[in-house]
Chain A
Amino acid sequence: MIEAERKPPRLKVALVGSPNSGKTSLFNWITGSRYKTVNYPGSTVESHKGLSLPFYGETFEVIDTPGIYSLNPSSQDEKVTLDLLLSGQLHRVILVIDASQIQRQLLIALQLKEMGVLFSVALTMSDLDPEANSAVDPKILSEELGVHVSVVDGRLGGGVKELVDSSIDRGPVFKKPFRSLSNDEDFLKKLTSQGRVIANKVVPSRTRVEKFELDRWLVHSRLSLPLFLIVMTLLFSSVYYFAAPFMDMVDWFFATSSVFVSEQLGEGMISDFLSSGMIEGMGAVLVFVPQIFVLFFGLGLLEESGYLARASTLIDRPLHFVGLSGRSFVPLLSGFACAVPAVMATRNLKSARERWIAVFVLPFMTCSARLPVYALLLGFLFFGEASWKPGLILAAIYFSSALIGGVAAWILHKILKTKERSYFLMEFPPYRRPRVAKVFKDSLYRTKSYVVKAGPTIFTFVLILWVASYFPHNTAWSESEQLANSFLGQVGSALDFLFRPMGLDWRAGVALLSAFVAREVFVSSMAVIFNLGGVAESSVQASLIEQMKNATFPDGGLIFTTPTIVAMILFFMFALQCISTTGVTIKEMGSWKYGVAQLVTLNVVAYAVAVLAYQVLS
């Protein structure tokens, strides 16, 4: 008891270093947590915090900071690190230096020294380039900098224990910086040249290592663009190709369960709720989980390989034209998985204006929540036809959505006049062979978090919709009478005037409105509303499409025709129907006006486009 009371507060240790220096790998080794290491400069946008594993002795807190080139605060990232250093909360600072890039990474070490910060150095990435690493002499580096230096193998974890032992237990106690850095160019010139002098001493015989052979093709003046298009096509077509068998399995499982439950429980409210409410509602969405996994896996492989930095460079020119830069490429690309982390990733953009535009157009990127929606609608349009047809249209939807985002960005770029200069300096990380097992585990984890996050929302809405469509209940009513007389039917009918111009009846309209909670809820709502008769086929999806084909207006006209489906697809392409995205946008941009303006603009445009499309086509 007395022992515990005397315990000093838990040590706080910050890992500081350049982009790609191996901070996150080191963080993972110390904490055992599974944060992704992304082989892309500037992938840590937030400081991750974690606790050290018992293996390293007494528990301490580790903070992984965003990668920086310098401690002159010119971007959000650098400010995050600088603020942390100035906060006075830290007990230890570990500067992570990539041995193969030592010349350029010594600047931060010298700046820390200038500021009067006490720190120790972790020399990393020995795994990548053993020759270059052995050329760096940690003893000389330690003497030159006057700090402790430990060699760490980021991939295999060698040397981490020694680093912790030497810098955590006996390392220097952090002192609040007592000098701020001069902004003077001559001063910077002095520090960088000092860095080079030290680097030359530390690496006596620099042997040239060609690490960028692939760049001969991948950033070739002429070949790079076709190769980029091939890579992106492969990524998106694999989402369909590899996921298909697994989707069939999931679909079969839910359809069978639904039939099984209704057979076992017989007729009745509980049975009806479980089989046509819960199981089908959940199944309609979960069937797309394999696709989401494949997308995460593909993006993960690209991230790890180091190609994304090249791709960002390749795409810089067109993005620059619409007021963005290559730096926006990774946030925009992650927007294809989910807009929420993508909005957070825009923190990495140096220019506030670029960030403003990027966040505004991010919802145009086809996120994975739209995949279930498009898959259902295209499944309807091309029912029983060759699978390449919906695949091709889906590709066109992805492409034109991105293009629309580009046009929107360009419009904003023209409206928001500026004198601000935009920069693009992109460091290419060395290519790495992606660790497939690790990427697999990461994608599984991300998919799981997606399901865990979306699951309760879908569950709640399925519950609400089912209750609203089941009550008030009268056994004498037919199924359609039941729905029309239910609470849901009464609310829906009142809003009928909104949906008619798009060619939809109130039932489809309610499903569309429910998508504002999360887009994929649309599919489960459709399943609950239209599939009340239960699964008649061996597939939830086929059964739902069958019901949609037979759905009629009170006057007997078919609801779901090519014009209405096209109108709905267009609506989903333009609309911002995601409360989480708006929430995170308001938080990240620090302005609810921005979030509301974006929400209103995109949805009004979406509605107008959908109505126009329907009116023209029908």
Chain B
Amino acid sequence: MKQKEESLLPLSQAPIGAASQIRRFSGDAELNQRLREIGFYEGAHVVVKSRMPFGGPLVIELDQCSLALRFLEASSIEVAAM
């Protein structure tokens, strides 16, 4: 029960600069596969570093590496604030 109470939010909603931890992927199979291949996994620590202007991609730090994801793709990664 306690685990269920943990509030998850999509990575796209995470505040800039705050660390969070990936809990699950809620996209379709193809997107999930791509995210895993590029290095996302459950339990990984991520930080949203910035958002590109006009609703552009988000810059995300993951395991000492920076990468960019579109808002929609980042929405399919559910994280818990740390």
Chain A residues packing against B (C-beta within 8 Å): 69-70, 72, 74, 100-101, 103-104, 107, 183, 185, 188-189, 192-193, 196, 206, 208-209, 211-212, 215, 219-222, 224-225, 313-314, 316-318, 320, 326, 421, 423-428
Contact = CB atoms under 8 A, between A and B. Distances in A.
A192 B33 contact: no
Nearest to A215: B66
A104 to B, nearest CB: 4
A424 B70 contact: yes
A426 B57 contact: yes
A425 B41 contact: no
Interface string B24-59: 000001111111111101000000011111111101
Contacts of A69: 37-38
A320 B70 contact: yes
Contacts of B52: 219, 221, 224, 313-314, 316-317
B63 A221 contact: no
B70 A316 contact: yes
Given A100-B64, A423-B34, 5 more contacts: A104-B38, A185-B29, A221-B50, A224-B50, A426-B67
A425 B74 CA distance: 10
A192 B41 contact: yes
A47 to B, nearest CB: 21
B75 to A, nearest CB: 13
B68 A428 contact: yes
A157 to B, nearest CB: 25
Contacts of B39: 103-104, 192
B69 interface: yes
Closest 3 CB pairs of A and B: A317-B56, A104-B39, A428-B66
15 contacts: A100-B64, A101-B65, A107-B37, A188-B37, A219-B59, A222-B53, A313-B52, A316-B56, A316-B57, A316-B68, A317-B53, A317-B54, A426-B68, A427-B67, A428-B67
Looking at B51, B55, B64, the one whose CB has the most chain A CB atoms below 10 A away is: B64
B78 interface: no
Contacts of B65: 101, 104, 427-428
Nearest to A208: B64
Contacts of B73: 423-425
B4 to A, nearest CB: 22
B50 A424 contact: no
B16 interface: yes
Contacts of A326: 57, 68
A75 to B, nearest CB: 10
Contact of B50 (A70, A211, A220, A427): A220
Contacts of B32: 185
A352 B52 CA distance: 26
Contacts of A425: 34-35, 38, 67-69, 73
Nearest to B44: A196
Given A313-B59, A427-B67, A221 B36 contact: no
Interface residues of B, number: 33
B33 to A, nearest CB: 6
A348 B63 CA distance: 25
Contact of B56 (A206, A215, A313): A313
A154 B40 CA distance: 27
Nearest to A183: B33
A313 B68 contact: yes
Interface string B1-40: 0000000000000001000000000000111111111110
Nearest to A71: B37
A423 B66 contact: no
Contacts of B41: 189, 192-193, 196
Contacts of B55: 317
B66 A212 contact: yes
B3 to A, nearest CB: 20
Nearest to A426: B68
Nearest to B56: A317
Contacts of B63: 103-104
Contact of B64 (A70, A196, A211, A219): A211
A221 B15 CA distance: 13
A100 B64 CA distance: 9
Contacts of B49: 215, 219
Contacts of A215: 49-50, 59, 66
Contacts of A313: 52, 56-57, 59, 68
A389 B67 CA distance: 41
A326 B67 CA distance: 13
Contacts of A72: 33, 37
Contacts of B59: 215, 219, 313, 428
A557 B16 CA distance: 66
Contacts of A189: 36, 41
Contacts of B61: 212
Nearest to A221: B50
Contacts of B54: 317-318
A423 B50 contact: no
A196 B36 CA distance: 12
A188 B57 contact: no
A46 to B, nearest CB: 22
Contacts of A219: 49-50, 52, 59, 66, 68
A316 B63 CA distance: 24
Nearest to A321: B54
Given A224-B52, A313-B56, A424 B68 contact: yes
Nearest to B65: A101
Contacts of A70: 37
Contact of B53 (A225, A320, A424, A426): A225
A166 B70 CA distance: 43
A307 to B, nearest CB: 13
A196 B39 CA distance: 10
Nearest to A424: B70
A429 to B, nearest CB: 9
A107 B67 CA distance: 18
A314 B68 CA distance: 10
B36 A427 contact: no
A421 B31 CA distance: 10
A185 B39 CA distance: 14
A189 B53 CA distance: 33
A192 B42 CA distance: 11
A209 to B, nearest CB: 7
A427 B40 CA distance: 12
